[in-house]
Amino acid sequence: MQLSYALNALKLSHQSYLIDTIVLMFRICTLKIAQITSIS
């Protein structure tokens, strides 16, 4: 029981880390696109 709880917590933290990374990448891409469009 304790082990499965630890695994679930690990899975949750891994998921939130993955989501944070995707959001960060998306923001960087959006910034880059905004820079490119403002230049041209």
pLDDT in tens, 17-34: 889 999 999 999 999 999
DSSP string, 15-38: HHHHHHHHHHHHHHHHHHHHHHHH
pLDDT at 2: 81
Nearest to 20 by CA among 12, 33, 9, 4: 12
The whole-model pTM stands at 0.59
In degrees and rounded to multiples of 5, residue 34 shows phi and psi of -65, -40
